[in-house]
A and B are shown apart, each in its own frame.
Chain A
Amino acid sequence: MTREIASEAAEPPAEPPAVDLAAGSATDPPVVTLVVNGELHRLTVDPRTSLLDLLREDLDLVGTKKGCDHGQCGACTVLVDGRRVLSCLTLAARVRGPVTTIEGLQASDGSLHPVQQAFLDHDAYQCGYCTPGQIMSAVGCIAEGAASDEDSVRQAMSGNLCRCSAYVAIRQAVLQAARELESAP
């Protein structure tokens, strides 16, 4: 059972504090300090808790979706330290580095991230369930320099499944956002 001890919208420390897991056990749960979308949270966590469940159940950040819970669909993709990872296979107690979810993508003035805007421009979704994961994966993909052309996007985004098959539009959106971000000053 996760219990939030403290939460503050403080400036995140440059280096996230070390996690004290030395005394950790199921009956003596470890205390974890996490920076999520710029906010510092201090919580006790059952070591079994996935980052996905912590985000959704304990931090009320339900934008990240649980598709398969086994690392096979990509719907749970978030950024940790700028790198795209599957939050369903990440133990919350082991997270090192700041976490960015779909809720943390838009600018402080509310304007959409270029990837979000590109998804709107290209209607790159139907039901929307895979969409947060697609967008976070696209942000990570572009940061990796893997969105150079349609073929590289097809390969680099293959970890995100879409049962509504919005793939064609998703690829166009990723390419548009990549062009915009790569040409930004």
Chain B
Amino acid sequence: MNPFRLVTPTTVQEAVQAFARHQQVDAGLSPSPQPAVAYLAGGTTVVDLLKLGVLTPRVLVDLTALSDSLAEISVDADGLSVGALATMAEVAAHPDVARAHPAVVQAIGSAASAQLRNVATIGGNLLQRTRCPYFRDGVSACNKRAPGSGCTAVGGDTRGLAVLGTSDACLANYPGDLAVALTALDASVSVATADGGAYELPVADLYRLPGDRPDLETVLAPGDLVTAVRVPDGGWQASVYVKVRDRASYAFALTSAAVALRSQPDGRIADVRVVLGGLAARPWRCREAEELLRGGPLTPETAAAAAATCLVDARVDQARAFAVELGRRTVVRALLDAHARVPAGA
């Protein structure tokens, strides 16, 4: 692990300014393909990647002292607001979250392990990195870790990598669960910037496709600090998160699906959201599936027809071919699960 210095700001302003200051200092010292400064929240992603030599910052901006102001969970007329430094465990256990957005609790509860959820933060969870073995081994040619070096996954071991949203430069999948559920719920993140400003950004717009710059995973500028997640009251009658993986717990998704829906009094679908996870470069909103379902009944047949549209653009090889059918079935399962949870007579 390369040596680093820990700095411990006590306010958001101090944090973003410390990041900018240290980034400037390092820019003068030596060019590096890797970011010289990184934020450190729970640390479950950053410390792991530090040990692998994948992340090599000279300075870590420790956000621990900000917890008091950025760990709150509250509900108001606009919806749910979750501080970015709230832990996954705190959010999943919060009664307001369970009542308003079951899919969020399901997504968080299916992620990681109890020990990790006690420490990992909501903001950090959204910004987790891919589990692609070539990214993580620290030495393979990897355009995400070392821009321009190539993609060892192309022609390599691709099981578990993405079939949607990939490019010739990168096959990495986004492995997180919460972001998939938040995309389905039209959530947004609040972001603080180094110049003292702030902006709001839909989670659906947070993640970039790899294209020819897989090293740029989000639209955040270096130093931007996610401070909160907001989930509006979308009037959904049911929301679910279904996760399919090699073992029953403590594993990343092979495929996953978040569904939120609202029925008309006659039982037909008034509105629906379908988002795929596990097998895509970023949370994958399935607008065609939603369009097919709107205004009609939700049956196993209509669910299957909708699910079929989700993966038409999949780019597969032999190792990942299974993910297409598995992905379709995951969507069907999530749709029918959500439908079954709509209150009777609603």
Chain A interfacial positions (CB closer than 8 Å to B): 19, 21-22, 24-27, 30, 46-48, 50, 69-71, 74, 77, 83-86, 89-91, 93-94, 96, 137, 140-141, 144, 146, 154-161
Contact = CB atoms under 8 A, between A and B. Distances in A.
Interface string B59-90: 01010100000000000000000000000000
Given A70-B51, A96-B64, A158-B249, A24 B118 contact: no
A77 B113 CA distance: 11
Contacts, number: 96
5 contacts: A21-B7, A27-B3, A71-B115, A84-B118, A140-B114
A144 B4 contact: no
User: How many of chain B's residues touch chain A, expressed as a range?
Assistant: 20 to 34
A89 B47 contact: yes
A90 to B, nearest CB: 7
Given A86-B119, A90-B119, A146 B114 contact: yes
Given A71-B48, A89-B48, A48 B116 contact: no
B114 A69 contact: no
A89 B119 contact: yes
A66 to B, nearest CB: 12
Contacts of B60: 47
B322 interface: no
A84 B115 contact: yes
7 nearest A-B residue pairs (beta carbon): A159-B113, A26-B3, A158-B249, A25-B5, A158-B250, A89-B47, A83-B118
Given A25-B5, A137-B115, A159-B114, A89 B249 contact: no
A121 to B, nearest CB: 24
A47 B1 CA distance: 11
B115 A85 contact: yes
B8 A21 contact: yes
A21 B40 CA distance: 14
Contacts of A154: 248-249
Contacts of A159: 112-116, 250
Interface string B198-228: 0000000000000000000000000000000
Contacts of B62: 21, 94
Interface-centre pick from A27, A71, A144, A160 (highest chain B CB count, 10 A): A71
A21 B51 contact: no
Interface in B91-119: 112-116, 118-119
Contacts of B7: 21-22, 24
Given A70-B51, A91-B6, 4 more contacts: A21-B62, A85-B118, A94-B64, A158-B113
Interface-centre pick from A74, A141, A158 (highest chain B CB count, 10 A): A158
Interface string B1-42: 101111110000000000000000000000000000000100
Contacts of B47: 50, 89-91
Contacts of B298: none
B147 interface: no
B64 A84 contact: no
A158 B47 CA distance: 22
B138 interface: no
B44 interface: yes
